[in-house]
Amino acid sequence: MDTSFEQDRLVRSKQQTDGPHLVHRLRRLRRTPGLRALVQETRLTTDDLMLPLFVADGSEESEPVESMPGVFRESVDITVKRARSATEVGIRAVILFGIPDSKDAIGSGSHDPEGSVQRAATALKEELPDLVVVADTCMCEYTDHGHCGLLDDRMDVDNDATLEALAKIAVSQAASGVDLVAPSGMIDGQVGVIRKALDEAGHEQVGILSYSAKYASAFYGPFRDAAQGAPSFGDRRGQQMDPSNGSEAVREAAQDLAEGADLIMVKPALAYLDIVRRLRKKFEGVPLVAYNVSGEYAMIKAAAQMGWLAERSVVLEALTSMKRAGADIIITYHAMDVARWIHKAS
């Protein structure tokens, strides 16, 4: 006799004092892979993934980022090849970060129509018209001081002067063909100013993915290595959010939506899944993005290389938890691997 079915009728709790009560047998639906698949609540698909790409100047350049195994800084020609192989495993979206050869105090390279991000966007749209192309809209990779904006005489980021610069960057990215611009500097008012500038320049169809709740996180360490964009003095705590704060993320997102953001983001992801959940509940129906940042990637890669974690299972578990928390889209450096794994499994 199959005792699991027998016991199933009534299971008495050992600690009960005041009469029997029914314990549901939740394990019943965990018994076989078929049953587990049938009741699976969260499914990760390649449609959920956005792959970050670091675009450098020059040609035929592909330079590995030391602290992010499997991630490269690549010139436009190689970026197109990389994106093509991403589409072949089912990835539908990329986000571009520029790695310019030269920087200056006002980040002039950021809105150069011949900049690497602008050239990459045009090339990608030409070669892979169905690919969603997003550009990070910020100054930190282009300024020699590494801050996300123009500095005032106290060496602080000048909010309103930076807004004008961001509008110029967004318009240049839109002109190069991106589908979405993604302001990441946490400058107050950036979404509204960018929306207005895009509309005035005839780019009404270009959307805004706002890095709404971006925390002042030490998990960005490897990215700053990749993008050579660490601030040369000070830090970003004057713009980015204090990791202790949760309610403030709701205010940030509400403000961005009021200014015209089409999608909102929480960044980093893993240590901030409560924020993902909060924004999901508060802003039902708004596409919500989680950015699985460089430090989260590096931690898993390093442990996997040491043989201390099973990479594939850990990555799928981490990314599934982001969707379970409420994210619709995940920006992740694991995207290519995940797409291959999902591809194989199906």
Residue among 25 and 271 whose Cβ is closer to ligand PBG: 271
Positions 221 through 240 that interact with ligand PBG (CB under 6 A): 223-224, 236
Task: Name the segment binding ligand PBG (CB under 6 A); options: 26-34, 134-142, 167-175, 255-263.
Answer: 134-142
Give the other-Cβ count within 10 Å of 26's Cβ: 7
- For position 293 contacting ligand PBG by CB under 6 A, the verdict is yes
In angstroms, the CA 263 to CA 75 distance is: 28
Angle between helices 247-259 and 190-200 (to 10 degrees): 20
> What's the one-letter identity of residue 212?
S
Determine how many CB atoms are found less than 10 A away from the CB of residue 23.
13
Catalytic pick among 14, 125, 168, 267: 267
Q: Which of 136, 252, 256, 259 binds ligand PBG (CB under 6 A)?
A: 136
Confirm whether 14 is a catalytic residue: no
Element (H, E) at 94: strand 93-99
φ/ψ of 131, rounded to 5, equals -70, 135
Catalytic residue among 103, 214, 301, 323: 214
* Phi-psi sector, 202: left (phi>0), alpha (psi -120 to 50), beta: left
How far apart CA 183 and CA 196 sit, in angstroms, is 14
- Minimum CB separation of residue 185 from ligand PBG in Å reads 7
By the rule CB under 6 A, 138 interacts with ligand PBG:
yes
Out of 54, 142, 215, 220, point to the residue binding ligand PBG (CB under 6 A).
220
Of the ranges 42-50, 202-210, 219-227, 312-320, which one interacts with ligand PBG (CB under 6 A)? 219-227
Under 8 Å between Cβ of 149 and 203? no
* Interface segment toward ligand PBG; rule CB under 6 A; list 169-177, 217-225, 303-311, 313-321: 217-225
Annotated catalytic residue 267: yes
Q: Closest approach of Cβ 284 to ligand PBG, in Å?
A: 26
Establish if 54 lies at the interface with ligand PBG (CB under 6 A). Answer: no
- 166-167-172 Cα angle (round to 5): 95
Closest CA to 231 of 148, 155, 296, 161: 148
Q: Which residues are catalytic?
A: 214, 267
Residues that bind ligand PBG (CB under 6 A): 136, 138, 140, 184, 220, 223-224, 236, 293-294
